[in-house]
Amino acid sequence: MEALEGLLTGFQIAFSFHGILFVLIGVVVGTLIGMIPGLGPITAIAVMIPVIYGMDPTLALLMMAGVYYGAAYGGAASSILLNAPGVSEAVATTFDGYPMAQQGKAGKALAIAAISSFVGGTVGVILLTFFAPTLAKVAVSFGPPEYFMLMLMGLTAISSLSEGSTIRALISATVGFMFATIGIDAQTGTPRFTFDSPHLTEGIDFLVVALGLFALAEVCSLILNRKERLTDQKNIGSLHLTKKELHEMKGPMGRQSILGFLIGVLPGAGGTIASFLGYLTEKRIAKNSDEFGKGSVKGVAAPETANNGSSTGAFVPLLSLGIPGSGTTAVMLGALIVLGIQPGPMLYQQHPDVFWGVIASMYIGNIFLLILNLPLIPYISKILKIPRPLLISLVIVFCIIGVYGISFNTFDLYLLLGFGVLGYLMRLVSFPAAPFILAFILGGMMEQSLRQSLTISNGSLMIFATRPVALTILILSILSLLFPYFQNRWQKRNRIRQGL
C-alpha cells in the first residue's frame, strides 16, 4: 500500500504540465538517438548536463530517464530495416527482424517491436514500483563468480544460433572471443594484440564489429547478387497483426518482460545479455523453433521485450542503492549529484518525490513511446521503397557516420571496412555471424569475471560450486543445453506411440 501511496504522489508530479513536457522531450530525443548508430544515450545525457544545471532535479531526472528507455525503443528500426544494429541491445532483433522485412513484412516487424517494447517497459515499471527495495538485495548478490556463470549461460545461445553446423558456429564464436581480447588487459594492465597502436589499447568498439559483420556484409551480398535481388518485392506490408500473431507474442512478452527486468537489475549485465537470453530461451522452448532466424514473430518480440524490461530494471540499483548498473545510469548518477541530489541508499527516504516522480513518469513515458512509434512506422519503413542502389549507398553512409561518431577517428573506419569484408567472406563459406558477435560482446566480461573469481579464490575452481547462486545458474545452463535433446526424444517417443 505504501507503494501505491508513493505512486500517487509521483503521478502528481509526472502529470503536471512540466512533468509531461519533459517526459515527452526525453522520449522523443531518446527514440531519435536510438535510431542513429553511434549516438548512444550516454552521449545525449552527458551533453545535457550543463543544460539541466539548476533545473528541478525530479524533472531533470525524468527527462534523462526518458532518453534512456526511449533509446531502447528506437534501436529496433535500423536492425529490422537495414540489418544495421546501432546499439548492442538491438543485435538480437536483427536475427528475425531483418528476415521479416525481407519477406515484405517490415511494417509488422516494427509494430511487433513497438508493442513488445511497450509491454517490456510497462511490466518493468510495475515491478519497479512494487519490488524495488526487495530486488535491490538481488542486485548486490552478484559477484564475479555469478557474473561468469551468467555469461556462460548467454554463451549456450551459440548452439541456437548455429544455422545448421555447430562446428562452424563454434569456430565463429572462437574468432569472436579472440577479437574481444584486443586491448589493455584489465587484470594486469598488459596491452594485448595492440601492435603498439594507441587506437587499439581500449579494444575494438562493438559498433564497428556489428555494423561491419551485419550491415556491410549484407551490402556486399546485395551488390554482388544484384541481378537476382533487383526483382525483390519492396512491400512494407500491413501494420496490423493478426489474432494468431498477437497470440504468438503473448508468451514471449510475458516471460521476457520479467526475465529482462531481472537481468537489468544486475549491475553491469544490461540489455545486451537480456536480449540474447530472451531470444535464446524463447527459441529453446518454442514448438516451432525452426522458424527462428527466418522471420519469426516470437524472435522479434522476445529480444525487444527483454531489452526494454532490462532498461527499466537498471533503475532498481540506481534508485534504491545509488549503484549505477550501466554506463548510462552512471552518467545519470553524476547528473543527479550536480542537481544537489545524492542518489544512494537514502534516496527513497530523503527524496521520495524524486524516487516516485521518476517511476510514475515511466508509465506515461511508455505510453508516449507507443503512441509516437506506431504511427511513425509507415514513414520509417518507406526507406525500403528507395531504389536499391540508393538504399545501399544510404546504408554505407549510415554505417560510416555511426562508427565515426564513436570517437571521430578514421582508424575505426578502416576496421569497419575490414569487418565488412570478413562478414562477407564468412557468408560465402556459410559461417554464421551471430555466434561471432555474441562471443565478442560477452567474451570481454566473461574473461574478466573468470579471472576476478580465480584471483579472489587464489586459483581454486571451487568458488563456482560453493556459491549457491553461481551453482544454480550453472545447473540451469546445463539443463537448457540438454533440453532440446530430451524434447526430441519425447517427441519421437510420442510419435512412435501414436504410430502404433
Partner 1 sequence: MKKMAGALVLTFVLVFTAACSSSSSGSQESDSGEWKPDKPIEIVAPAGPGGGWDTTARMAAKVFEEEGIIQQDIGVINKPGGGGALGWSYIHSKKSPNSLFVSSPPLLLVPLNGQSQYTYEDFTPIANMIADYGAFAVRKDAKWDNLNELFDDMKKDPSSITVIGASSPGSMDHIQFVKVAKKAGVDIKKIKYVSDQDGGALTALLNGSADVYTTGVAETLEQAKAGKIKVLGVTSEERLDGDVVSTFPTAKEQGIDATFVNWRGFFGPPNMDEAALSYYEKKFKELSDSEAWAEIREKYGWKEMYMDHDEYMEFLSKEKDELQKLIDELSLGK
Interacting residues with partner 1 between 382 and 441 (CB under 8 A): 382-383, 385-386, 394, 397-398, 401, 404-409
CA pair distance 107, 125, nearest whole angstrom: 27
Q: Are 303 and 263 in contact (CB under 8 A)?
A: no
Q: Which stretch binds partner 1 (CB under 8 A): 104-112, 170-178, 335-343, 479-487?
A: 335-343
Contacts of 494 (CB under 8 A, 6+ apart): none
Smallest gap from Cβ 226 to partner 1, in A, equals 22
If binding is defined by CB under 8 A, does position 323 make contact with partner 1?
Answer: yes
Residue placing its CB nearer to partner 1 in the complex, 121 or 267: 267
Looking at residue 261, its amino acid is F
Minimum distance from residue 125 beta carbon to partner 1 (Å) = 23
Candidate ranges 8-16, 213-221, 359-367, 372-380; the one touching partner 1 (CB under 8 A): 372-380
Task: Please identify, using beta-carbon distances, which residue of 251 and 268 lies nearer to partner 1.
Answer: 268
Nearer to partner 1, 142 or 292 (CB): 142
One character per residue 262-281, x = contact with partner 1 (rule: CB under 8 A): -----xx-------------
Q: Check binding of 477 to partner 1 (CB under 8 A).
A: no
Stretch that binds partner 1, among 16-24, 285-293, 297-305, 450-458 (CB under 8 A): 450-458
Sites for partner 1 among residues 158-217 (CB under 8 A): 184-189, 191, 198-199, 201-202
Identified binder of partner 1 from the candidate list 176, 343, 365, 432, rule CB under 8 A: 343
Site for partner 1 in 302-321 (CB under 8 A): 317
Q: Which amino acid is at 473?
A: I
Cβ atoms 315, 336 nearer than 8 A: no
What is the separation, in whole angstroms, between the first and last Cα of the chain?
A: 58
Map the footprint of partner 1 across residues 142-161, applying CB under 8 A. 142-145, 147
Fill in the per-residue mask, 41 to 60: x = in contact with partner 1 (CB under 8 A), - = not in contact. Answer: -xx-xxx-xx--x-------
CB atoms inside a 10 Å sphere around CB 452: 17
39 binds partner 1 (CB under 8 A): yes
Per CB under 8 A, 75 contacts partner 1:
no
Q: How many residues bind partner 1 (CB under 8 A)?
A: 75
Amino acid at 362: M
Q: Is residue 380 within the footprint of partner 1 (CB under 8 A)?
A: yes
Burial of 397 (0-12, 13-18, 19+ CB in 10 A): exposed
The yes or no reply on residue 470 touching partner 1 (CB under 8 A) is no
C-beta of 161 vs 392, nearer to partner 1: 392
CA dihedral 280, 282, 285, 287 (to 10 degrees): -120
Q: Which is nearer to partner 1, 379 or 485 (CB)?
A: 379
Interface stretch with partner 1, choices 16-24, 122-130, 284-292, 445-453 (CB under 8 A): 445-453
The helix-helix angle for 388-407 and 410-428 (nearest 10°) equals: 130
Q: Which of 87, 125, 280, 331 binds partner 1 (CB under 8 A)?
A: 331
Site stretch for partner 1 (CB under 8 A), options 89-97, 134-142, 163-171, 416-424: 134-142
Q: Which lies closer to partner 1 via its Cβ, residue 338 or residue 421?
A: 338
> Segment 7-26, which members bind partner 1 (CB under 8 A)?
none
Q: Is 371 in the site for partner 1 (CB under 8 A)?
A: no
